């Protein structure tokens, strides 16, 4: 274990490290969790993984709504007598230590009878006795040990989508039929003549027929329905020759058995159905631990605190009405549009408008739903029901009111427009050609053509290629909704980026200082004063200054919306706005002014921190794509971005969510195929409107808006590689189509001449399938290795984020 990281959570240790039991911890919370595990004889938690824990959180206020019996009951899966069951989503689950501690909750709370972890879904199912413990206590326990559950309005509503498992059942039936028929047909392959085999040959053939029926009638039913639908709509899709080939093989096999001409082609038929369904499952496989269809309810809290006659009560968020007075605590979400009653507030609208820094509000100002309070608790009066708020109005747009299925024709559909009619013409042409010469040969030619040219190879090419690429992208932490998104990615010609949270990194921004230099002692004193503030700018500044430890603070006053006054020893520290500090300059956005012992010292300026390799990513993409940047921020960063990004990048600032959506729509009206990359609710409309919408997030398990893909922010630099691989995937499909076409030309030439018997065609068909699947897998993996070959590390754009500008004071002292 590194001496510079916390024993419990693995985070870097601060200057004021906490030591206990010969271990080092980053905070009192981690130390408390360690003590709790040690006292409960559960210290082996740390044996499964290095620093497996997470910093604990306080749940006393945040989950106080769980004391409301109606709300708590709505979150339970089952409750009867002394038994209750709840399933909670725990985003932090990541290793065997997590599983072990969560499945041993009974040793931490006597009311828990059993707890079971579903690792892929990051859920824990807890069976407990409500007479001994409560849901509120259980959630509090999970928070104290660093496994805070994710509870949102979506959970409270209990709306879940039942997964359709019919394709899985069809695949299982086809596999069962295929395997058993192959086993029973083995003697027929070699034409073995043995007494018992000859005696029971009819019985074995009947058994093969019965085993083939479920596969023919049930497993292949989807192809029959799709074919019929295509015929009714006047479209020729790939399902038509597939369904026709299956039916021909079945009818021909039944005829061969009845006429004692042979065992038929039931094995090939079931093998075809199995491989087709396997390819479909491979293509439609997605990442079950992610949700690509989230809306604002996934972000909203279950309940809020309402003040009635001076008393606080927790109420479900959908029961909020106009005129209600609400108490919003630090880091809590504003659930409805309201008017601020408290003197001041600092509201973070980054997730709704894209504004990077908190906005200061005064009493009487309007607050919009979706903002997050930063600092002390505030009171506000609701002016509109939640359903009529600004945030929920974003979902009133038609783009969210329907299933936004984009009219994208797949590569397989494009090929089938020509392949299907050509195949039918050749099959019936061959039949009529031979019918006047030899009727038996005519039927053999007809069935051989449909069997040998049955487009299984064509139909399997795209699913297996795209399914393989989907898996490769997932390993690189780009999680796509389904394989069809890869085809759409390959066709985009325009990429639009959101700014805040997309090309900017979370956490500390770039900080510069303008004023006289501080001594090391003064830095410690400033850090000591900042340590007690929860304001975002205070936390960022404290992180930068607290490199040499802190000193005791004898007095501390925080004035919300203004600043801090503190005494560190005999030194008076004042930090805050220019007016509060008494600075001889006007306040600008995102500044903290400093005075020591009543004398003005200077000001800290905060700029946004951009992601590593941002310049390289935009430079690489600009060679092929039209690039754009949309931001809800003002134009304060325009000059910096113009120096950083290629000149061809279009930049638009002060963009509302509706502005972003309309801009995407205008590009599409010009024939552009747009990829939108965003991160928050303010981008939800644009993500839904675009041809492909990708949400970038620092943690794939937390909220992200509805989208086609989720990109881990740590792999932002790989974006050009992702797009390159999607284009190469289409090349793989094209090459495999060519290979399949060559196979069909050779096979059909033999079939039409009458020299290719249906039995031989049935043997060749699965061999072509294996060849195609192997080809696309090998070539796809080779392309992925070439695209993601390791490159030398790029310069970190934030290496010099923090600096003092000059040795001489730039501002006069007061």
Q: What is the pLDDT of residues 663-721, one digit of tens each?
A: 999 999 999 999 999 876 667 778 888 889 888 877 554 545 567 888 888 888 999 99
Model confidence at 408, pLDDT cuts 50, 70, 90, reads very low
- Greater model confidence, 514 or 283: 514
Check if the beta carbon of residue 707 is closer than 8 Å to that of residue 693.
yes
Model confidence at 588, pLDDT cuts 50, 70, 90, reads low
103 Cβ neighbours under 8 A, 6+ residues apart: 115, 116, 117, 124
For residue 24, give the H/E element and its range.
strand 23-25
DSSP 702-752: S---S-SEEEEGGGGGGHHHHHHHHHHHHHHHHHHHHHHHHHHHHHHHHHH
Q: Is the pLDDT of residue 767 over 90?
A: no
- Cα–Cα nearest to 171, from 247, 268, 248, 282: 282
Handedness of CA 227, 229, 232, 237 (dihedral sign): negative
- What pTM value is reported for the model? 0.61
- pLDDT for residue 628: 93
- Cα–Cα nearest to 289, from 414, 555, 474: 474
Least confident interval from 360-374, 468-482, 499-513, 652-666 = 499-513
d(CA 175, CA 271): 8
For residue 326, give the H/E element and its range.
strand 325-328
Q: Is the pLDDT of residue 206 over 80?
A: yes
d(CA 680, CA 693): 12
pLDDT digits (tens, 9 = 90+) for 157-180: 544 444 567 888 898 999 999 888
d(CA 136, CA 313): 15
- pLDDT for residue 617: 92
Contacts 24+ apart (CB under 8 A), 80-87: 82/129, 82/130, 82/131, 83/113, 83/127, 83/129, 84/127, 84/128, 84/129, 84/130, 84/135, 85/125, 85/126, 85/127, 85/128, 86/125, 86/126, 86/128, 86/135, 86/138, 87/123, 87/124, 87/125, 87/126
C-alpha pair distances (Å), 223 with each of 159, 198, 242, 594, 785: 31, 37, 7, 73, 36
- Greater model confidence, 60 or 651: 651
**Tokens at 440, concatenated:** 């038996």
How much is the average pLDDT of 408-414?
61
How much is the average pLDDT of 788-803?
42
438 Cβ neighbours under 8 A, 6+ residues apart: none
- pLDDT for residue 675: 94
C-alpha pair distances (Å), 240 with each of 66, 232, 237, 246, 557: 56, 12, 6, 10, 77
Check if the beta carbon of residue 805 is closer than 8 Å to that of residue 604.
no
Check if the beta carbon of residue 783 is closer than 8 Å to that of residue 725.
yes
Averaged confidence pLDDT in the chain: 76
Q: Is the pLDDT of residue 812 over 90?
A: no
- pLDDT for residue 232: 82
Question: Which of 104-108, 509-513, 662-666: highest mean pLDDT?
Answer: 662-666
- pLDDT for residue 752: 60
Check if the beta carbon of residue 149 is closer than 8 Å to that of residue 88.
yes
Q: Is the pLDDT of residue 492 over 90?
A: yes
Model confidence at 445, pLDDT cuts 50, 70, 90, reads confident
- pLDDT for residue 455: 59
Beta bridge pairs of residue 506: none
Q: Is the pLDDT of residue 261 over 70?
A: yes
Q: Is the pLDDT of residue 804 over 50?
A: no
d(CA 759, CA 770): 18
Instruction: Note the Cα 188 to chain centre separation in Å.
Output: 51
Check if the beta carbon of residue 592 is closer than 8 Å to that of residue 553.
no
d(CA 765, CA 27): 65
What are the phi and psi torsion angles at 187 (to 5°)?
-60, -30
How much is the average pLDDT of 200-226?
88
- Greater model confidence, 612 or 349: 612
Check if the beta carbon of residue 714 is closer than 8 Å to that of residue 383.
no
- Cα–Cα nearest to 656, from 687, 689, 631: 631
- pLDDT for residue 808: 31
Check if the beta carbon of residue 556 is closer than 8 Å to that of residue 564.
yes
Percent share of the chain, pLDDT over 70: 74
pLDDT digits (tens, 9 = 90+) for 65-103: 777 787 788 788 878 778 888 988 887 776 677 777 888
- pLDDT for residue 325: 92
Scanning the structure block, which residue is given the tokens 């029901």? 385
Helix axes 758-787, 439-452, angle to 10 degrees: 10
Contacts 24+ apart (CB under 8 A), 329-332: 329/61, 329/62, 329/305, 329/373, 329/377, 330/373, 330/374, 330/375, 330/376, 330/377, 330/534, 331/372, 331/373, 331/374, 332/62, 332/301, 332/304, 332/372, 332/373
- pLDDT for residue 688: 80
What are the phi and psi torsion angles at 616 (to 5°)?
-65, -40
Q: Distance between terminal CA atoms of the chain?
A: 50
Per DSSP, 631 falls in state -
Q: Is the pLDDT of residue 598 over 60?
A: yes
**Tokens at 660, concatenated:** 């972003």
Model confidence at 353, pLDDT cuts 50, 70, 90, reads low
Q: Is the pLDDT of residue 413 over 80?
A: no
């Amino acid at each position: 274990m590194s001496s510079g990281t916390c024993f419990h959570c693995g985070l870097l240790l601060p200057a004021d490290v906490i030591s206990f039991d010969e271990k080092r911890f980053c905070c009192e919370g981690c130390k408390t969790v360690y003590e709790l595990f040690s006292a409960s004889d559960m210290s082996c938690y740390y044996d499964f993984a290095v620093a497996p824990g997470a910093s604990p959180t306080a749940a006393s206020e945040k989950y106080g709504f769980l004391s409301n019996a109606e709300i708590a009951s709505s979150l339970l899966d089952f409750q009867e007598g002394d038994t209750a069951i709840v399933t909670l989503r725990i985003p932090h689950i990541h290793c065997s230590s997590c599983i072990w501690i969560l499945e041993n909750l009974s040793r931490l709370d006597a009311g828990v009878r059993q707890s079971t972890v579903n690792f892929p879904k990051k859920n824990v199912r807890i069976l407990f006795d409500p007479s001994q413990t409560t849901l509120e206590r259980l959630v509090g326990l999970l928070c104290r040990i660093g496994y805070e559950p994710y509870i949102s309005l979506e959970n409270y509503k209990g709306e879940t989508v039942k997964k359709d498992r019919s394709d899985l059942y069809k695949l299982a039936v086809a596999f069962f039929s295929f395997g058993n028929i192959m086993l029973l047909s083995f003697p027929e392959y070699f034409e073995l003549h043995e007494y018992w085999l000859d005696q029971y040959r009819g019985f074995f053939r009947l058994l093969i027929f019965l085993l083939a029926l479920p596969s023919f009638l049930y497993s292949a039913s989807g192809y029959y329905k799709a074919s019929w639908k295509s015929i009714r709509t006047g479209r020729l899709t790939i399902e038509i020759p597939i369904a026709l080939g299956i039916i021909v093989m079945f009818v021909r096999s039944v005829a061969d058995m009845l006429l004692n001409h042979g065992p038929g082609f039931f094995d090939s038929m079931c093998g075809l159905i199995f491989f087709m369904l396997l390819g479909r499952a491979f293509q439609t496989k997605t990442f079950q631990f992610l949700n690509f269809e989230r809306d604002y309810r996934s972000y909203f809290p279950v309940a809020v605190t309402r003040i009635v006659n001076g008393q606080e009560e927790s109420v479900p968020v959908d029961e909020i009405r106009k005129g209600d007075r609400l108490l919003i605590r630090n880091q809590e979400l504003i659930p409805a549009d309201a008017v601020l009653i408290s003197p001041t507030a600092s509201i973070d609208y980054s997730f709704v408008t894209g504004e990077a820094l908190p906005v200061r509000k005064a009493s009487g100002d309007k607050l919009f739903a979706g903002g997050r309070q930063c600092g002390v608790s505030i009171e506000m009066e609701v002016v509109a029901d939640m359903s009529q708020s600004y945030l929920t109005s974003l979902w009133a747009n038609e783009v969210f009111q329907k299933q936004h299925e984009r009219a994208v024709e797949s590569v397989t559909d494009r090929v089938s427009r020509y392949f299907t009619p050509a195949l039918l013409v050749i099959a019936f042409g061959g039949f009529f050609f031979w019918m006047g010469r030899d009727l038996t040969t005519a039927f053999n030619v007809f069935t051989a053509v449909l069997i040998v040219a049955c487009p299984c190879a064509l139909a399997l090419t795209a699913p297996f290629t795209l399914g393989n690429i989907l898996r490769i992208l997932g390993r690189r932490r780009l999680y796509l909704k389904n394989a069809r998104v890869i085809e759409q990615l390959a066709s985009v010609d325009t990429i639009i980026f959101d700014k805040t949270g997309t090309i900017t990194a979370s956490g500390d921004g770039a900080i510069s200082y303008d004023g006289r230099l501080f001594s090391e002692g003064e830095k410690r004193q400033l850090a000591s004063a900042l340590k007690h503030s929860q304001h975002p700018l205070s936390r960022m500044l404290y992180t930068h200054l607290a490199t040499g430890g802190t000193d005791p603070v004898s007095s501390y006053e925080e004035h919300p919306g203004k600043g801090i006054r503190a005494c560190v020893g005999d030194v008076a520290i004042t930090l805050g706005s220019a007016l509060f500090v008494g600075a001889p300059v006007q306040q600008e956005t995102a500044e903290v002014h400093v005075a020591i012992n009543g004398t003005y010292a200077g000001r800290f300026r905060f700029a946004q921190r951009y992601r590593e390799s941002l310049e390289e990513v935009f430079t690489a993409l600009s060679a092929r794509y039209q690039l754009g940047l949309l931001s809800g921020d003002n134009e304060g960063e325009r000059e910096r971005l113009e120096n950083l990004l290629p000149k061809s990048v279009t930049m638009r600032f002060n963009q509302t969510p509706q502005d972003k959506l309309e801009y995407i729509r205008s590009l599409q009206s010009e024939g552009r195929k747009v990829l939108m990359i965003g991160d928050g609710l303010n981008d939800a409309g644009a993500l839904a409107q675009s041809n492909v919408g990708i949400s970038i997030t620092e943690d794939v398990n937390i909220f992200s808006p509805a989208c086609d893909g989720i990109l881990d922010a740590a792999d932002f630099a790989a974006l050009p590689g992702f797009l390159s691989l999607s284009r190469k995937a289409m090349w793989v499909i094209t090459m495999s189509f060519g290979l399949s076409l060559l196979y069909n030309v050779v096979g059909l030439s033999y079939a039409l001449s009458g020299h290719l018997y249906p039995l031989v065609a049935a043997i060749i068909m699965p061999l072509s399938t294996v060849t195609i699947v192997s080809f696309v897998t090998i070539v796809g993996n080779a392309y992925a290795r070439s695209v993601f070959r390791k490159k030398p590390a790029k310069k970190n754009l934030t290496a010099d984020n923090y600096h003092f500008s000059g040795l001489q004071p730039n501002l006069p002292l007061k």
